Amino acid sequence: VAEEKALSLDLAAALSASVQLHLMPKSIVAVHTLVLQDDGGALPAAISCASLALADAGIALYGLVAACSCSVLGDTVALDCSAAEAGLATGSVSVACMPTLEQLTLLRHEGAVPFARATEGLQLALQGCALLHAE
C-alpha cells in the first residue's frame, strides 16, 4: 500500500505541472489509473497515458507529459526494463517531462548508483521521452 501511495503521488506530481489550473478555478481534475499487470515500467506508462487522456478530455495543458525509466545493470544502463531486469538492477532513474517546453515534471531516483551512471540514465531517459513524444 505504501508503494501504491508513493506511485500515486509521483503520478500527481508529474501531471500537475502540465495542467493549466488557472483556467479552471474551483475545479478538480481527477485522474484514476488501474494497473492490471506490471511487468516493469508501470509508472512511466501510467504518466504518459494519463497525459494523453487529459488532452483527449479537453483539459488545457502546457504540454504533453512523456515518461521513461532506466535501470543500471552492472556497467550498462538500460531503458524500459522488465520487472525481472529491474530486480537485478542496482538502481533506477524515472523521468517525466514536457519535451516541447524542455521542462522536467518528475525525477525519481532509487538505489545506489554512481553519479556517472545516474547522469547516463537521466540522459537516456530524456532521449526516450523525446522519442515517445515525437510519436
Q: pLDDT tens for the chain, 135 residues: list them.
A: 788 999 999 999 999 999 999 998 888 889 999 999 988 899 999 999 999 999 999 999 999 999 999 999 888 899 988 888 888 899 999 999 999 999 999 999 899 888 888 899 999 999 999 998 987
User: Whole domain around residue 21: which residue ranges?
Assistant: 2-134
**CATH code of the domain containing 105:** 3.30.230.70
Query: What is the DSSP pairing of strand 91-98 with strand 76-79?
Result: unpaired
Q: Which of 73, 15, 75 is nearest to 40 (CA)?
A: 73
Q: Total domain count for the chain?
A: 1
Q: Which of 79, 84, 83, 59 is nearest to 69 (CA)?
A: 79
